Amino acid sequence: MKPLEGGKISPRQLYALLVLSHLETTTSILPSLTTALAGRDSWLAVILAILAVLPLGLLVAWLGKRFPRQTLIQYSNSLLGKVLGSLVGLVYIWFFVHLSSLIIRESAVGFNLSVLPRTPPIVLIGLLALLGAATARGGIEIIGRLAESSFMFIIFFTLLTLILPLNFAHLEHLQPFLARGATRVFTAALIPLGLLGEFIAAAMVFPYLTKPEKATRSLLCTILTSGAIILFFTLVTTAVFGRTANNLTVPPFKLARMISIGNFLERIEVIVLAVWTIIALIKTSFYLWIGALGSAQLFNLRGYRELAFPLGIIIIVFSITAYDNFADAIRFYTPRVWGVYSVTIVMGLPLLLSAAALLRGYKTKIPENAPDN
C-alpha cells in the first residue's frame, strides 16, 4: 500500500522546524507570563524547564528508535492496544489542532495591538489558517524546506532585536536573587516547560527523516538552541523593562521600537512583524500537517491531504472562540491551566508509552506486519 506521506526531510530541516516552532509563543508572551509569577527570577524558571525537557528529548528519541517506521499515533496503538492507543492518538491530534488555533489567534491579537488595530481579527485569522492549510497540504517536504530557507533570516533578526536594546538594560533589574522564593520559580517553570515540550511533534516526523540515526542529536540541539534563545529573551526583557515586564503585551515589538542607530536603522518592528508572520505560518502548517496525517493514520484513511482545509476551517472556529482579548490569553497561559494541560500531554503520555514499551520488552525492530506510514 502506498504510504500516506511520501516526503522526506533532513535532520537539519527538522531542527529548523522545531526551533522556529518554539519561537512564536515563547517570545511573544512567555517573558510576561514568567515575570508575573517569578519576578526578576523568571530566567531561573526557564533554566529549570530546559533541564526538565532534556531527559524528555532522550525519551522521545528512544521511542522513535524502537519504532523507526511508525509515527507516535501508530506506535501508541502497538503499545497500548486499539482502544487506549486510539485514545492517546486522539489526545495528541487534539493537542496540535488546538495549538494551531491558539497560534493564529495570538498572531491576530498581536497584529491588532501593534500595526493593524482596525483590522477585524477574523480577517487575519482566516488568512493565516488558509495559508497554513495550503502549506500543510503540500506535505512535510514543503514545510521542512520553508523552515530551512527562512531559518537564518529569522534567527538573525531575532538576535538583532535582543542585542541592540542592551544599552537600555539595567542589571539591578535582575536583583535580588530569589526575591519571591523558590516556590514561585518552580511554579513559573511549568509554563516554559509546556511550551518547550511541544518538540514531541518530532515523534510524527521520525519515519520521514533522511538520516534517522541523527534524530537524537536534532532533538537535543533543538532543546538547547530554543532554550538558549528563550533564556536570553527573558533576561533581556527583564533587564530592560524591570517590573513593567509582566505588563508587556508583545515584547518583541517593544524591544524593536527601542532600536535606533544613527538615522538609518530604526523602526525595525516592520521586519519583526514579517518574521513573526513567517514563524506563525510555519508552526501552523506543521501542526496542521500533524493533525491531518495523525487523523488519517488513526482512522485508516487512504490520504491525509484532503483533511488539511477542513482542519483549517475547524481551527478558524476554535480561534474565534478561544478568547476575546490578550488578557484572556494571559489567564489561559497560567501554571494551573496551561501548565497542567500541556505538561500532562508532553510529559505524562510519553512516560506512559515508555513504560508500556519496557513492560512489553520491545526491541529495536518492529514487527514485520507493522503498518506503512
Residues 28-55 have pLDDT tens digits of 677 777 777 777 888 888 899 999 999 9
Domain ranges of the chain: 11-360
pLDDT recorded at residue 291: 95
Buried b (16+ CB within 10 A) or exposed e, 213-236: ebbbebbbbbbebbbebbbbbbbb
* Angstrom distance (rounded) from CA 91 to CA 359: 22
pLDDT recorded at residue 89: 94
Residues 229-273 have pLDDT tens digits of 988 888 888 888 877 766 666 677 777 777 766 665 666 667 777
Domain 11-360 has CATH 1.20.1740.10: yes
- Give the DSSP per-residue string, 17-59: HHHHHHHHHHHHTHHHHHHHHHGGGHHHHHHHHHHHHHHHHHH
User: Above 70 in pLDDT, residue 371?
Assistant: no
Instruction: Average the pLDDT over 99-122 and give the result.
Output: 82
| Of 142, 164, 157, 147, residue with least CA distance to 275 | 157
- CA torsion through residues 30, 34, 39, 42, sign: negative
Average pLDDT, the chain: 85
Question: pTM, whole model, 2 decimals?
Answer: 0.90
Instruction: Average the pLDDT over 275-289 and give the result.
Output: 91
